[in-house]
Every structure is written in structure tokens, then in C-alpha cells.
Amino acid sequence: MASNFITSANGIMTLTIASLFDAPITLQNWGTDRAWEQEAVEMLESQMSIDGVLNRGYIPRPVNQTLTFSAASPSLTYFEAIIAAQQSTLTAISLGGELTVPATKRKYTFTNGALMTGSVAPNGGTVLEARAFTIQWEKVFPAGI
């Protein structure tokens, strides 16, 4: 029997915010259409020499990840706390993260992150709209579970 499951509904993401909370936080009540997404990362630069030789080099780049939550998500209070702490201390709050995807038996560890952008209040439409936050990570390490 094949096990080609690709659901994201049972994905679990935790954030570590050591300077604000004693234990990792499990994020919940994600946005409807997109819960989390990572931008594609350009990992190499290349140059073509004038004599037609292609040269490449690895360039480390940060990873931008956007997390989207329902307007009723209890996780929003944590993001609001990060925003408030950054505003009051005038410094970046360091984050760690872990995303577990049981459907694909994969786990991703995110290191040295910081909240770069975020919705400071919900948008009001017919109902309150989802809120999005972007975290920039230094590195992401994939592993099996």
C-alpha cells in the first residue's frame, strides 16, 4: 500500500523565544490558504568569463519564512509580544524554530531567526482577516523523523 500522503494539516511548528518565554511555543490556528511558506533561496552566484568558462560560487543567504494565522489564533499574542519587546528594547529578539511534517516524515530546524515583518493588527473585512509574519532565519537543517 502506497503512503503518498501530503497533508499539511497535521504539521507542527514550535518557536523558541528564550528571552520572553521559558518553553517552546506550539503555533496553532493557521491561516486557511497558506500556513507557512519559505521563499526560494538563491544559493550560488555565477559568472561567465570572456573566454566562455562558467564559474560558480556558493553564497550563504538567509531564509525568509512567512507564517499566516487565522484572526482568532492564540499564537498571535506571542507575535504581538515579540513586536512589543523589539519596540521597547530597540533590539531584535532571537528566535528558534522547528517544523515537523508527519506526512513526509521530515523535520526542519530553523536557527538564529528574527521577526522581520508582521501584521500589527487584524484587517477588518466581512470577517477579520488572517495575519502574516515574516521571520528571517540564518540556517535551516532538514532531517528525517
- In this predicted structure, what is the pLDDT of residue 2? 56
Q: Say if residue 110's pLDDT is above 60.
A: yes
Q: For residue 66, what is its C-alpha cell?
A: 512567512
Q: Say if residue 112's pLDDT is above 60.
A: yes
Reduce the DSSP state of residue 135 to 3 states and report it.
Answer: strand
Q: Say if residue 130's pLDDT is above 80.
A: yes
Q: What is the pTM of this model?
A: 0.92
- In this predicted structure, what is the pLDDT of residue 137? 98
Rounded Cα–Cα distance for residues 47 and 128 (Å): 48
Reduce the DSSP state of residue 75 to 3 states and report it.
Answer: coil
The neighbour count for residue 7, using CB atoms within 10 Å, is 10
Arithmetic mean of pLDDT, 20-29: 97
- In this predicted structure, what is the pLDDT of residue 4? 82
Reduce the DSSP state of residue 103 to 3 states and report it.
Answer: helix
